[in-house]
Structure 1
């Protein structure tokens, strides 16, 4: 059983997942077009948006990434669900 999250959580996670999708696609494109300055600018803009969204989600709902990529609250809150793959 995992804890019930407020309805405001889900639009934030959907936005974060959409930004992640854009970043993956831009990464794949840039792997084959490394000199496309416009794509690099788009990638950097979306990376910044992702960082802001991640920070916003984590401030309210707890960490999203392990191994030092996200801070833990007190008490240790990695065992609080749902985890991103459970949504």
Structure 2
């Protein structure tokens, strides 16, 4: 896989979707298998990749989630003013 900063916007969004699904799925598995070390390692690895991809997407195209919208330099809630994906923005 390419470095996250080398991915196009659509490639990065696709990666975020895939990794988010994997994290959600393994989270459900861990609910019933909490001592499975292989699953726990998979969860940590993919959670870190998801967080890194979300941060990279937010840096380049604007935040997708509230936890990547931490913009302490702004004096207002400016990220809400960007075009939404269904309006032709960030896709």
- TM-score class, shorter-chain normalisation, is 0.7 to 0.9
Structure 1 length normalisation: TM-score? 0.77
Root mean square deviation of aligned Cα: 1.8
- Any gaps of 5 or more consecutive residues in structure 1? 1-7
- Partners of 1:41 and 1:50 lie apart in 2 by 14
- Measured in 1, the distance between the counterparts of 2:21 and 2:34 equals 19
Does residue 36 (structure 1) correspond to residue 36 (structure 2)? The answer is yes
Q: How many residues align?
A: 76
What aligned pairs does 1:1-87 form with structure 2 within 5 A after superposition?
8-66=8-66, 69-70=67-68, 71-72=70-71, 74=74, 76-83=78-85, 86=86
Structure 2 residues not aligned, in runs of 5+: 1-7
- Runs (4+) of structure 1 exceeding 4 A deviation are none
CA-CA distance at 1:34 after TM superposition: 0.6
Q: Name the one with the larger helix percent.
A: 2
Q: Deviations over 1:26-75 (max 9, x none)?
A: 00100110110110000000011011101110110011112xx1224747
Distance of 1:15 and 1:21 partners within structure 2:
10
TM-score (norm 2): 0.74
